[in-house]
Amino acid sequence: MSYVSSVFQRIKVRNANEPEFLQAVEEVFKSLEPVLEKHPEYISANILERITEPERQIIFRVSWVDDQGVLQINRGFRIQFNGALGPYKGGLRFHPSVYIGIIKFLGFEQIFKNALTGLPIGSGKGGSDFDPKGKSDGEVMRFCQSFMTELYRHIGPDVDVPAGDIGVGGREIGYLYGQYRRIKGVFENGVLTGKGLSYGGSLVRTQATGYGLIYFVDEMLKHNNKVLQGKTVVISGSGNVAIYACQKATALGAKVIAMSDSNGYIYDENGIDLPLVRQLKEVERKRIRSYLNFHPEAQYIEGCKNIWSIKCDIALPCATQNDISLENAKTLVANGVIAVGEGANMPCTNEAINYFLENKILLAPAKAANAGGVATSALEMSQNSMRYYWTFEEIETKLKNIMVTIHSNAAAASSEYGFGYNLVAGANIAGFKKVADAMMAQGNY
């Protein structure tokens, strides 16, 4: 058994009930054999076992009163996974499926993603099993206030800087920051990112993950003598990442023909009417099926997984983890897909990833392709520290340069370690080396 496999066996035993975390670790470890061969010092320093064990995990009770006056109890999490490169940084997810294994997989992925941005940010992730769906603004506010009443003691602009993820957008960040300020009594807005523009938010942060994804996919296509212009695109999800991926893909000449939510998907062969989707999702918080009230010529199909049976050139999973199974991957390949861009975190199963790579499909891995969100969060932190605002154009240019650089660094690392043009391996290796070197330099911790 190889060294990497033997370490993975130990990690499996220690984290036996966390399949998503083990999946994420296995996917990264698959790329690391040649790195450890070339750098035996990482083995002596036991980097693999250290990098897979969070520096700190905080689990707490969140009690809040619903609109009926009933006391509700949820569980809150914050994992400070790796601080070697900077303050812990990563989003908060509010979704009923949240448990420690989900937060650990997300925090683990965040280590490499944040390293790839080239900016000084460590890795953290958090959230709760609270379900914001169907809750009133007052309920969401009381939940956020209670969540922050515990979290505030563990975070700070130089300690740990949370942001949004599934179920946490501008409304939730506002309530969370308001409670932080109320408790601390200081205007310390560098403690959270994804804030509203009136109290320290950054231009482009709302669009950043989706735009960054499209910049990355565009770069990958160009590198392979292909173009985005004229391609048909299917996007899963209709949240923050999906909406702005759709906007930028359309602006660059592609045609998005389908989007989904957790109930089902819409197929509009004329191209998705994005202003309508934004109104339905960002403003009215409705289900995507209501698209048909305005476009009766479109189709709504119940069940979100079948979206991958639609023939398209480019698939962009932007909803949640394990969205594309091996079966979905086989259907996409049989239907002629040329590229897959992971907007969500870990949206393809490991079997689906292998199938795409074996079939020479261009695959933009999440750690690289969705890093534009956290990179722009780091730019928000910079602006908060400087007490200054850059313009939309300045930030978008920085975001684009970051995505292009991540692509070239991942491609170079893949080639250097014998993987050819394999961005999955390249992103893992480039991210890993940066963090491993910082950990080595800082001694045993």
Ligand X SMILES: NC(=O)C1=CN([C@@H]2O[C@H](COP(=O)(O)OP(=O)(O)OC[C@H]3O[C@@H](n4cnc5c(N)ncnc54)[C@H](OP(=O)(O)O)[C@@H]3O)[C@@H](O)[C@H]2O)C=CC1
Ligand Y SMILES: O=C(O)CCC(=O)C(=O)O
Interaction site with ligand X (CB under 6 A): 95, 164-167, 169, 209, 237-242, 261-263, 304, 318-320, 343-345, 370, 373
Reported in sequence order, the residue ranges of 155-280 that DSSP labels E, i.e. its strands, are 160-164, 232-236, 255-260, 264-267
Cβ atoms of residues 279 and 293 within 8 Å: no
**Site for ligand Y (CB under 6 A): which residue of 373, 379, 396, 428?**
373
* Of residues 214 and 254, the one with the C-beta less far from ligand Y: 214
Q: Which residues contact 294 (CB under 8 A, 6 or more apart)?
A: 273, 276
Of 87-95, 169-177, 325-333, 428-436, the window that binds ligand Y (rule: CB under 6 A) is 87-95
**Residues 43, 45, 50, 56, Cα dihedral to 10°:** -170
Of 54, 90, 126, 127, the one binding ligand Y (CB under 6 A) is 90
Q: What residue spans of 64-164 are helical by DSSP H? A: 100-116, 137-151
The residue ranges of DSSP E strands in 203-294, in sequence order, are: 232-236, 255-260, 264-267
CB-nearest residue to ligand X: 239
The partner in contact with residue 89, picked from ligand Y, ligand X, none with C-beta cut-offs of 5 to 8 angstroms by kind, is ligand Y
Of 89-97, 220-228, 328-336, 433-441, the segment contacting ligand Y by CB under 6 A is 89-97
In this structure, what are the phi and psi dihedrals at residue 316, rounded to the nearest 5 degrees?
-125, 90
Signed CA dihedral, 153, 158, 164, 166: sign only: negative
For ligand Y (CB under 6 A), the number of binding residues is 12
Q: Which two tokens stand for residue 183?
A: 């408790």
Taking CB under 6 A as the rule, does residue 345 contact ligand Y? yes
Q: Which is nearer to ligand X, 22 or 241 (CB)?
A: 241
> Between residue 175 and residue 234, which ones bind ligand Y under the rule CB under 6 A?
193
- To ligand X, the closest distance from the beta carbon of 149 in angstroms equals 23
CB of 286 to ligand X, least distance (A): 10
Identify which of residues 146 and 377 has a Cβ nearer to ligand Y in the complex. 377
Does residue 349 touch ligand Y according to CB under 6 A?
no
In the set 125, 281, 398, 433, the catalytic residue is 125
> What whole-number distance in Å separates Cα of residue 211 and Cα of residue 134?
29
Q: Which is nearer to ligand Y, 179 or 370 (CB)?
A: 370
Distance of closest approach, residue 121 Cβ to ligand X, in angstroms: 13
Shortest Å, Cβ 95 to ligand X: 6
HEC letters along 27-74: HHHCCCHHHHHHCHHHHHCCHHHHHCCCCEEEEEEEEEECCCCCEEEE
Pairing of strands 71-82, 255-260: unpaired
For residue 186, the minimal CB distance to ligand X (Å) is 26
> Dihedral sign, CA of 403, 407, 413, 419?
positive
Of the candidates 26, 2, 1, the one whose C-alpha atom is nearest the C-alpha of residue 12 is 26
Instruction: Return the number of the residue (76 or 212) whose C-beta is nearest ligand X.
Output: 212
- For the bound state, the minimum distance from the C-beta of residue 404 to ligand X, rounded and expressed in Å, comes to 18
* Residue closer to ligand X, measured from CB, 209 or 383: 209
Question: Residue 75 pairs with which residues in a beta bridge?
Answer: 61
- Select the binding partner of residue 82 from ligand Y, ligand X, none (C-beta < 5 to 8 A, by kind): none
- Cβ pair 317, 344 in contact under 8 A: yes
Could you give the strand order of the β-sheet that contains 71-82, starting from the edge strand earlier in sequence? 56-65, 71-82, 123-128, 88-94, 160-164
DSSP 8-state symbol, 190: G
Q: Is 132 in the site for ligand Y (CB under 6 A)?
A: no
Binds ligand Y (CB under 6 A): choice among 76, 91, 167, 190: 91
Please tell me whether residue 323 binds ligand Y under the rule CB under 6 A: no
Active site residue 125: yes
Place of tokens 């989706």: 210
Q: According to the binding rule CB under 6 A, does residue 163 interact with ligand Y?
A: yes
Chain residues 11-30 in contact with ligand Y, contact rule CB under 6 A: none
CB of 370 to ligand Y, least distance (A): 6
Q: Which residue is nearest to ligand Y (CB)?
A: 91
Residues in contact with ligand Y by the rule CB under 6 A: 89-91, 113, 163, 165, 193, 345, 370, 373-374, 377
Tell me which residues are annotated as active site: 125
